[in-house]
Structure 1
Amino acid sequence: MAEHKAEPESGGAASSLATTARTLASTLWFPAFFFTGFLVCYLLPFHNPVPHHVDVAVAGPSAGQLEQALEQKSPGAFDIHRVADADAARDAVTDRDATAGYVPDRTDPQLFVAKADGYSLESVLQKTFTKVAQQSGGQLHMHDVASTAPGDGMGTGLFYLVLACTIPSYIMVMMLLRATTFGRRKKVATFVTAGALMSVIAYVTARGMDVVPDDPLAILFIFLMTQAVSLTSYGLVPFFKQFFPGVAMGLFVLLSMPSSGGAIPVQMVPGFFRALHPIMPMGNLIEALRGLFYFDSKDIVRPVLVICGWIVFGVALILLGAWKERRAARREAEGESAESVEAPVEDPSFEMPQPSAVAPHTHRLGQQDPVLTGRVTDQHGQPLAGVAITVTGTHGRELMRAITDERGEYAAAGLPDRFVNVIASSPDRLAAVARVLARDGHPVRQDFRLMPRTAPASAPASGPAAPVAGSR
């Protein structure tokens, strides 16, 4: 008999490979995004910071010659403009019209700088103009016209203060997505309350460490920034769904930190991040706090208005998302075609709500709150244990299953914000079905009364089983 060898099932292997590829892509996209983001947004701007278009006010008629000399040595590093005298050079720095002021006197050359603009920028200016002064035969005298607070020796204290309020404002949104018993208003109220507490605690802590000067108006500025981050992040959720973590962290971590001018002065990062500096809330808060603390409140209105613009943008996104949700609910209520099932929002650190059964009467820290509860009884009102509760989407896709306890009760958490079908079934009883609207922050109760499949001999046959009136 001829030997027969089975051919490999190439179609099945290809299908398995495609499934593996899809699984890896759906689970590893965020770490891949973060890995690439850190390489591009941190390694690129921070590995070799050099000055770009640093504005220097130069006293006297030699400004043009100095500009040519610096341009030949360091193209694009410094922008020179002429002022009348040493007082004007100093005022240009304190008024934030220039980053530095230089007085090219042969016997007493002077450089006016502001350490509050960043220690690394001050060091570059000192090194550059020390050489310029030496070429003219003089010894440079430096004047720090805007010193940082005694506890902020490196001039990066504002960066870490702002960072301490930026990342928690985003993480708070991720955590509150698990709070299924909190509606939109409660979540926004939580953002406001938590932002106010963070702002006060951050300022008091920084003051206690002598990192910032004493000016309580900073609390308001910090609070506005926390709301810009949290409200915008929350508003992005219904539009980007499972990709929300990448979008929010890309905005408020990967792009905001290198463009903030806090760790590395904005004049020393590549042009792309310099262009983002006037836009991102983190950089605008640092500019506002610098002006408030060290430059007699010069130029603080524009950055504060930009931060407020982010708040308005976040509120608009939230309102638009609410309108979109209500429109989808109306369409489902009218029996129109529902949208495709949304993938759950996922974060690399926090697992987001998934439809699941939970204990009706016990709640543990970290456990999801039930959004659907109910009780199943027989025709006499006695509880029925062991009844299967199945929750499906409006098109029949099963979302979760639960079993009633000894008191006939059940509970479900993590249901999507839309109409769902709740089915109560038992082998010896007629099943009952109810349609309920599951909404974030609005727990609903659906009770059932199940009739026996065969009516007792002493009683007339009963009609089909039905939900108990009283759902809420």
Structure 2
Amino acid sequence: MKSSPAVRALGVAVGAALLQLIMITAFAWPSAHLAPRRLPVVVTGPAAGPVAERLANARPGAFAVTTRPDEASARRAIADRDAYGAIVTAPTGVRVLTASAASPAVAQQLDALAQVFAPKRDAAVNAAPAVQDVVAADPDDPRGAGFGGMALPLIMSSIAGAALLTFAVRRPAWRAAGVLLFALLGGLGSAALAQGWMSLLPGPYLAIAAVVAATIAAVTCTVAGLAALGRAGLGVGGVLFLLVGNPLSAATSAPELLPRPWGEIGQYLPPGASATLLRSAAFFDGAGAARPIAVLAGWTVLGAVLLAIGARRARAVRPDADVRAPEPALT
């Protein structure tokens, strides 16, 4: 029994309104609740113990504080991506080390934190501790706006590529070849654009291109693989990576600033893994790259498996090319 046009129009309108509410919630809610949640910070120097205690009392649950023996080891922790910043105590006072390349939003939080350790002096004296950015963001993108702006188009174009391959290429094996070619060309082109004309990312060109290519392969291969099992897979992939993965990627903030456990979950989806890996390749000489590489590789393998299953199902339902219907007898 067919539904009337009025019922269909009502259903579409209600569905679209619900989708709009979901999208607004997915994109706005994490950003509206940014705050440090066990953010890794190092404390070092002769007053490390009292400073760590004071930090814990000032912002309970906000920081995961570890102590290091000296400033050099604190700087290594930042360079190895084991911490977002450090508080260095010395007889002459307190200094705060930040890394805006890891997250400009966190660097701003640590800049504000420096005021907590300002000694009580005359208001006319500028007594705030010195703040040093030891791993700075790109000078052409100091607040990371351009870096964060790359995340959504990269994921959207990868999903669009999967949809185009699904509708334009019939055989799953050729779709897989199309995914590889798309990832290669997209990685090389996007890296050239980001490092050349827009000047958003430093670091080795081939490393940046490889990260972008790995992101495209993970998203496109998985969505194309889901679609090979049924066209509804395109919608499933879009919801998973666009409505869930992108807001939780922390590309413009940090996983530890998102409500828990969503920041951690986001790192196991391609958008979050891609943002972390791009930062590692561009600013930290590959430090902290192991997990995001494994995440992107895992999604790519999953997509390849789904494409293989789709190819097997397609062969099972495809008529044998060698079996032809008998020709009618001549009379």
* TM-score, with structure 2 as normaliser: 0.85
Q: Flag the 1:134–1:239 CA change in 2: closer, same or farther, 3 A.
A: farther
Per-residue displacement from partner, 1:392-432 (whole Å, max 9, x unpaired)?
xxxxxxxxxxxxxxxxxxxxxxxxxx6xxxxxxxxxxxxxx
Q: Match of 1:205, as an amino acid?
A: L
Distance 2:172 2:310 in 1: 10
Q: Flag the 1:29–1:301 CA change in 2: closer, same or farther, 3 A.
A: farther
Q: Flag the 1:67–1:20 CA change in 2: closer, same or farther, 3 A.
A: farther
| CA-atom RMSD in angstroms | 3.1
Distance 1:184 1:147 in 2: 44
Q: For residue 246 of structure 1, what is the aligned residue in structure 2?
A: 235
Whether 1:90 and 2:75 are equivalent positions in the alignment is: yes
Distance 1:240 1:183 in 2: 14
Q: Match of 2:106, as an amino acid?
A: L
Whether 1:177 and 2:166 are equivalent positions in the alignment is: yes
Question: Which protein has the bigger strand share?
Answer: 1
Distance 1:223 1:194 in 2: 8
Q: For residue 190 of structure 1, what is the aligned residue in structure 2?
A: 178
Q: Flag the 1:22–1:290 CA change in 2: closer, same or farther, 3 A.
A: same
Q: Match of 1:38, as an amino acid?
A: M
Distance 1:93 1:159 in 2: 21
Aligned length: 322
Q: Match of 1:66, as an amino acid?
A: V
Q: Flag the 1:234–1:32 CA change in 2: closer, same or farther, 3 A.
A: farther
SS of structure 2 residue aligned to 1:98 = coil
Q: For residue 307 of structure 2, what is the aligned residue in structure 1?
A: 318
1:51 to 36, 39, 51: 36
Query: Structure 1: where are the runs of 5+ without partners?
Result: 1-14, 330-417, 419-436, 450-461, 464-472
1:212 to 201, 207, 216: 201
Distance 2:308 2:2 in 1: 43
SS of structure 2 residue aligned to 1:58 = strand
2:141 to 139, 152, 166: 152
Q: For residue 250 of structure 2, what is the aligned residue in structure 1?
A: 261
Distance 1:254 1:136 in 2: 50
Whether 1:304 and 2:293 are equivalent positions in the alignment is: yes
Q: For residue 459 of structure 1, what is the aligned residue in structure 2?
A: none
Deviation at 1:232, TM superposition (A): 0.2
Matches within 5 A, 1:62-77: 62-77=47-62
Distance 2:120 2:27 in 1: 36
1:41 to 8, 26, 36: 26
SS of structure 2 residue aligned to 1:246 = helix
Deviation at 1:87, TM superposition (A): 2.1
Check the 8 A contact 2:39/2:256 in 1, yes or no.
yes
Distance 2:240 2:50 in 1: 42
Deviation at 1:100, TM superposition (A): 0.8
SS of structure 1 residue aligned to 2:97 = strand
Check the 8 A contact 2:52/2:65 in 1, yes or no.
yes
2:106 to 105, 114, 121: 121
SS of structure 2 residue aligned to 1:221 = helix
Question: Which protein has the bigger helix share?
Answer: 2
Whether 1:107 and 2:92 are equivalent positions in the alignment is: yes
Q: Which has the higher contact order (CA 8 A, sep 6+)?
A: 2
Q: For residue 3 of structure 1, what is the aligned residue in structure 2?
A: none
SS of structure 2 residue aligned to 1:126 = helix
Distance 1:289 1:234 in 2: 24
Q: Match of 1:285, as an amino acid?
A: S
Distance 1:77 1:265 in 2: 13
- Comparing 199-208 with 137-146, greater Cα deviation is found at 137-146
Distance 2:13 2:312 in 1: 32
